[in-house]
Amino acid sequence: MKLKEPTSNQSSMNKISDLVASLSPSQTLAMSQKSQELKAQGIDVINLSVGEPDFATPDHIKEAAKEAIDNNFSFYTPVPGYMSLRKAVSAKLSRENSLTYAPEQIVVGNGAKQALCNVILSLLNPGDEVVLPTPCWVSYVEMVKLARATVVEVPATIESDFKITPDQLRAAITPHTRALLICSPSNPTGSVYSRDELAALVKVLAEHPDIIVIADEIYEHIIFSGHFTSLGSFPEIADRTVIINGVSKAYAMTGWRIGYCAAPLWLAKAVSKLQSQYTSGASSIAQKAAEAAYNGSQECVEVMRRAFERRRDLVVDLASQIPGWKVNRPEGAFYLFPEVSSYFGKRDGDRVINNAGDLAMYLLDVAHVATVDGAAFCCPGYIRLSYATSDTNIVEALRRIKEALARLK
């Protein structure tokens, strides 16, 4: 169906708010949508753009959802989530992360995305600053924009394994700093801060008792060496740390849309108030499924982790053989973030590659492989590949990429 364009006298009626006009659409979702459109046209696109496990949700979790339907879990849910789920999350945080958050301090939302946005909107005023190590996930900057607050980027590069130093953190803090927002294991780099590295950052934070620490730990289980350390486990900052997490990545449940924040009580109450006017409690059936995920056997998490580790080895091996790419060895999540600037200024016929966005589009059009421009993660000069796909797809995608890049002169 062809949609009607607005006529000129309708244009002011059709004007969207300045706030929404100032937002960028999610580049990860946009690229994934584009590759699905190409697939629908019959083009054999390999989608390494969106970050989501390619596994089916484990059977015992699906069974719990079916039972919830049969048992008529069909009514509005409490705004912060079922108490049984919040108890399961509280027990999980204690068991796996040695954290003490009472169920009342946990607010379940529609994915970690909403949980994080709730926290940002509940915490920040215009003029407040959020210290943000970059590269960072696409939605962080836009969420801070929604709160009309300001991002202070702290850039890390491949040379420091995409991790910031305590000195960088100290230098970024001003009297306006309200929060630090940090993600480990990282989307888009896969880097993981060790306990010692986190301790060094905590030392700086201990000097600034008014800063709220927001730790996005959604990839905690997808880690390939060492042991995951939660930022909330440092006593110096425990009472002002907000944990963001959810079931999307660990249990292959991206579409179920269940995430949570675990926060100081005053903040959890504010988040709940916001959510009560905005979306209400999350889906009843998905919450019962999430409860089964946390209370049930954790074997499925380890099975998927092992698959991601094998794929990490494969993708690093193949990407390291691509001329001109600088590649790190990610210790977690399921992303590779190569530096690709050696291709800038090169051409294939009329097509010139000026930046990583051009390169991502070139790879989509010529190699039929969807990746994401590093600029979407506040890091131009890089592209992101999600390797949450089959070994066959990884091998074929990297073969095509190498072949397409070889045409650039």
Query: Is 234 in contact with 199 (CB distance < 8 Å)?
Result: yes
Shortest distance in whole angstroms from residue 53 CB to ligand GLU: 10
CB proximity list for 25: less than 8 A, separation 6 or greater = none
Q: Which does 216 bind (CB under 5 to 8 A by kind): ligand GLU, ligand PMP, none?
A: ligand PMP
Q: Which CB, 182 or 363, lies closer to ligand PMP?
A: 182
112 makes contact, choosing from ligand PMP, ligand GLU, none, with CB < 5 to 8 Å by partner type, with ligand PMP
Which lies closer to ligand GLU via its Cβ, residue 113 or residue 288? 113
Give burial (CB, 10 Å; 0-12/13-18/19+) of 49.
Answer: buried
Binding site partner of 26, from ligand GLU, ligand PMP, none, Cβ cut-off 5-8 A by kind = ligand GLU
Contacts with ligand GLU in 83-122 (CB under 6 A)? 113
From ligand GLU, ligand PMP, none, which one binds at residue 232 (CB under 5 to 8 Å depending on kind)? none
CB nearer ligand GLU, residue 128 or residue 142: 142
Using CB under 6 A as the binding rule, whether residue 244 contacts ligand GLU is answered as no
Partner in contact with 107, chosen from ligand PMP, ligand GLU, none, beta carbon below 5 to 8 Å by kind: none
Binding-residue total with ligand GLU (CB under 6 A): 11
Least distance to ligand GLU, CB of residue 260, Å: 16
The answer to whether the CB of 311 falls within 8 A of the CB of 398 is no
Q: Are 286 and 57 a contacting pair, CB within 8 Å?
A: no
Binding at 29: pick from ligand PMP, ligand GLU, none (beta carbon under 5-8 Å per type): ligand GLU
Assess contact for 391 and 311: CB atoms under 8 A: yes
The Cα 75–Cα 280 span in angstroms is: 12
- The smaller minimum CB distance to ligand PMP, of residues 116 and 212, is found at 116
**Packing angle of the helix pair 138-146, 111-123 (nearest 10 deg):** 40
8 A C-beta contact, residue 260 and residue 109: yes
Which residues of 46-172 form beta strands (DSSP E)? 46-47, 106-109, 129-134, 150-155
50 touches, from ligand GLU, ligand PMP, none (C-beta below 5 to 8 Å by class): ligand GLU
The 119-138 site mask, x for binding ligand GLU (CB under 6 A), equals ------------------xx
Interaction between residue 28 and ligand GLU (CB under 6 A): yes
Closest CA to 214 of 117, 334, 335, 145: 117
The CB-of-218 to ligand PMP minimum distance in angstroms stands at 5
Stretch that binds ligand GLU, among 48-56, 90-98, 122-130, 290-298 (CB under 6 A): 48-56
Q: How many helices (H) and strands (E) are present in the chain, helices listed first?
A: 13, 14
Q: Cα-flanking dihedrals φ and ψ of residue 242, to 5°? A: -110, 125
Q: What is the DSSP string of 291-331?
A: HHHHHS--HHHHHHHHHHHHHHHHHHHHHHTSTT-B-----
Minimum Å distance from CB 384 to ligand GLU? 8
Q: Which of 57, 187, 230, 233 binds ligand GLU (CB under 6 A)?
A: 187
DSSP run (H or E) holding 287: helix 284-295
Minimum distance from CB of 404 to ligand PMP (Å)? 27
For residues 66 and 62, what is the distance between their CA atoms, to the nearest angstrom? 6
Closest CB to ligand GLU among residues 50, 202: 50
Residues from 353 through 392 that contact ligand GLU (CB under 6 A): none
Minimum Å distance from CB 259 to ligand PMP? 4
From the list ligand PMP, ligand GLU, none, partner contacted by residue 138 (C-beta under 5 to 8 A by kind): ligand GLU
Quick one: which of 104, 105, 63, 71 has its CA closest to 295? 63
Binding partner selected for residue 246 from ligand PMP, ligand GLU, none, CB under the kind-specific 5 to 8 Å limit: ligand PMP
CA nearest neighbour of 365 among 338, 337, 401, 341:
401
**SS3 assignment, position 196:** helix
34: amino acid identity, one letter: K
Footprint of ligand PMP (CB under 6 A): 51, 111-113, 137, 183, 187, 216, 218, 246, 248, 254, 259
- Nearest residue to ligand GLU on Cβ basis: 51
Residues found near ligand GLU in the complex (CB under 6 A): 26, 28-29, 50-52, 113, 137-139, 187
